[in-house]
């Protein structure tokens, strides 16, 4: 039985939900385009988790392996992978109580009859009959994986899903032979493993949480005891993760708000206790990470996920030795998790082709027959993206930026735990220097753009803060208070506006021992913030006693007092306010359009056209570059 040692290299793509199915559970052309673009450089690739019963889906547009009619599509996928000598791993997962309660027809079973404490349906406590049914489900799904040409089956024992719900003392509250002691809690998961191993000839990988990152959940000591039992039973390899989809989602998603490398530590400790291969995973998104894992941690294999979403060439570039030339994964979960949760499917902030079937895997930068001389005005994300893309197509590009490359995105890495966002500015800055694009470090004037030097002008001048007409409001900060030279300490600060910027500013101010008040005219704060970041940020605000007033607006500022009123006309005021931060939204800034209209061909992109997020700006720029 061939194992991981027969892979062409030590890189595996981790299972990431795509949401690219059409609701039937059958593999689509979009799946083939997405995985095909990434397969060639990998030793093995694990498609997204495959649902084993239509009533157990995590997202409505998940790939299924619940019936024989799925085999043909799955075979197309494995054939595609095999055409590049890349092995295929079928990831089988029963979500138990973590099945999506919003999907009609889903059902919920578990070791317990308690719902996940962070939300979800109340499950049925499983009977012996239920357990037999689940074992049969795993077995039939594994047989279909074998028939579809998969080379490995991976069983999900971790991340708070059904088998982990038996393993975890925090969840399993049974009083029978499947609960209580370690020996009882591992009984059912091992029964599943044994049945699958007996039913198929394929090697089996087990994915397991080193720890669930909760005091009373699965801990490393018990995980080591379990993997030794699995080794005795003939498991081919172990894939070590951390966290639980229920109780610790930031660890489950390896979000930028949690410590990088914790899963690596768990994997190293487990590796020292077994003699079978161990797969390391968890925010492996830089070449330094890869070097450390192989050299310092002694990793056998690496599972890479979102770094391959951000740049399909991440592994091939590393192997080729051209270091530093890939679009960085920011660990933000904005486009990937956010796209799947929204129903739009997997996307990516930094890679605008992801999720676009007509773009994925295509040669979009063929040289143009008639290169143009193009001026790009503004060196923010949209301006830098369009300049680089147009240069790749063969155009002559000049970029005007009066200040610092990156524009307002230079403020994005400054709130707590968001340092990883700086990698995007570093990437663009490096790429621009390497491209030979001419950069003019001053404001573009009308005469620069219409004197015949350029065939086309692209206006990417961004946006500016909206400052509400508040009586007495004269001295205030905007988001520039995040910068080291502006940040204040031990002060009373009132933040006007509880949107994304206002909440991030408040969170940063707390780190400097400030007393913070947020006043938001709408009924909700942190609108538009990515779900995990929002949950953790609001938790921090609450724990630090931030006063939050929703449905109120600031009416007047007068000698250290700030007056507010609500929709009912009720008024109150705050005394001794040292500083005010205004974060009440942004408006497009486009001072040149009227001046150049009719004198030269031009386009407006990014926030200058419509205020949005980083992902919108980059996608807008990319789309224009492809059209030109």
Catalytic residues: 161
Alpha-carbon distances of 170 from 97, 214, 304, 381, rounded to whole Å? 14, 8, 29, 45
From 354, 464, 466, select the one nearest 34 (Cα to Cα).
Answer: 354
Three-state DSSP at 209 gives strand
Quick one: tokens of 467? 């400052």
From 451, 459, 548, 419, select the one nearest 496 (Cα to Cα).
Answer: 548
Starting at the edge strand found earlier in the chain, the sheet holding 456-459 runs: 438-440, 396-400, 373-377, 456-459, 601-604
Class of residue 576 by CB neighbours under 10 A (exposed 0-12, middle 13-18, buried 19+):
exposed
Three-state DSSP at 58 gives coil
Contact 507, 593 (CB under 8 A): no
**DSSP notation for 548-607:** EEETEEEEEEETTEEEEEETT--EEEE-S--EEEE---EEE--SSHHHHTTTSEEEE-GG
Contact 230, 197 (CB under 8 A): no
φ and ψ of 59, to 5 deg:
-135, 150
Structural Rg of the chain based on CA atoms:
27
Q: How big is the chain, counted in residues?
A: 628
Quick one: tokens of 406? 């990156």
Residue for token pair 């019936």: 67
Contact 189, 221 (CB under 8 A): no
φ and ψ of 50, to 5 deg:
-100, 125
How many whole angstroms separate alpha carbon 142 and alpha carbon 144?
5
């Amino acid at each position: 039985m061939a194992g991981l040692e027969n892979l062409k290299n030590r890189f595996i793509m981790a299972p990431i939900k795509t949401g690219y199915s059409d609701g039937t559970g059958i593999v689509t052309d979009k799946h083939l385009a997405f995985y095909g673009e990434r397969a060639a450089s990998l030793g093995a690739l694990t498609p997204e988790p495959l649902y084993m019963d239509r009533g157990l889906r995590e997202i409505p547009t998940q790939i299924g392996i619940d019936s024989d009619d799925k085999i043909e599509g799955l075979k197309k996928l494995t054939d595609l992978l095999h055409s590049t000598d890349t092995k295929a791993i079928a990831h089988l997962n029963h979500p138990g109580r973590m099945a999506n309660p919003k999907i009609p027809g889903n059902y919920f079973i578990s070791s317990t009859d308690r719902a996940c404490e962070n939300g979800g349906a109340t499950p049925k406590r499983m009977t012996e009959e239920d357990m037999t049914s689940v074992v049969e489900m795993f077995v039939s799904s594994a047989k279909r994986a074998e028939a579809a040409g998969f080379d490995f089956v991976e069983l999900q024992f971790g991340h708070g899903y059904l088998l982990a719900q038996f393993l975890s003392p925090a969840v399993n509250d049974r009083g029978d032979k499947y609960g209580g002691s370690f020996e009882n809690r591992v009984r059912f998961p091992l029964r599943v493993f044994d049945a699958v191993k007996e039913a198929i000839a394929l090697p089996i990988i087990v994915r397991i949480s080193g720890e669930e990152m909760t005091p009373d959940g699965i801990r490393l000591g018990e995980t080591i005891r379990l993997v030794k039992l699995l080794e005795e039973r003939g498991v081919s390899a172990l894939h070590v993760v951390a966290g639980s989809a229920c109780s610790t989602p930031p660890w489950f998603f390896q979000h930028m708000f949690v410590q990088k490398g914790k899963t690596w530590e768990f994997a190293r400790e487990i590796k020292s206790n077994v003699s079978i291969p161990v797969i390391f995973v968890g925010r492996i998104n830089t070449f330094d990470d890869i070097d450390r894992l192989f050299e310092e941690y002694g990793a056998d294999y690496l599972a890479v996920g979102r770094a391959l979403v951000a740049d399909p060439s991440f592994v091939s570039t590393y192997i080729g030795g051209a270091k530093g030339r890939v679009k960085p994964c920011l660990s933000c979960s904005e486009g990937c998790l956010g796209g799947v949760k929204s129903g739009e499917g997997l996307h990516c902030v930094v890679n605008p082709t992801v999720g676009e079937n007509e773009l994925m895997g295509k040669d979009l930068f063929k040289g143009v027959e008639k290169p143009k001389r193009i001026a790009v005005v503004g060196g923010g994300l949209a301006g830098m993206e369009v300049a680089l893309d147009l240069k790749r197509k063969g155009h002559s590009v000049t970029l005007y930026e009066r200040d610092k490359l990156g524009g307002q995105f230079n403020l994005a890495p400054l709130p707590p735990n968001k340092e990883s966002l700086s990698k995007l500015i570093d990437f663009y800055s490096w790429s621009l220097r390497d491209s030979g694009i001419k950069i003019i470090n001053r404001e573009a004037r009308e005469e620069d753009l219409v004197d015949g030097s350029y065939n086309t002008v692209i206006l990417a001048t961004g946006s500016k803060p909206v400052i509400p007409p508040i009586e007495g409001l004269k001295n205030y900060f905007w988001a520039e208070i995040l910068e080291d030279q502006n940040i204040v300490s031990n002060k009373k600060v009132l933040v006007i506006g509880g949107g994304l910027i206002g909440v991030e500013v408040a969170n940063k101010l707390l780190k400097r021992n400030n007393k913070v008040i947020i006043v938001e005219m709408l009924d909700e704060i942190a609108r538009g913030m990515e779900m995990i970041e929002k949950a953790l940020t609001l938790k921090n605000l609450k724990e630090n006693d931030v006063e939050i007033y929703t449905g109120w607006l600031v009416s007047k500022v007068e000698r250290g007092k700030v007056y507010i009123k609500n929709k009912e006309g009720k008024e109150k005021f705050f005394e001794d306010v040292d500083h005010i931060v205004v974060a009440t939204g942004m408006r497009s800034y486009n001072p040149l359009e009227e001046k150049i209209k009719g004198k030269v061909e031009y386009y407006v992109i990014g926030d200058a056209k419509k205020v949005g997020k980083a992902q919108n700006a980059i996608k807008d720029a990319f789309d224009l570059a492809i059209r030109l």
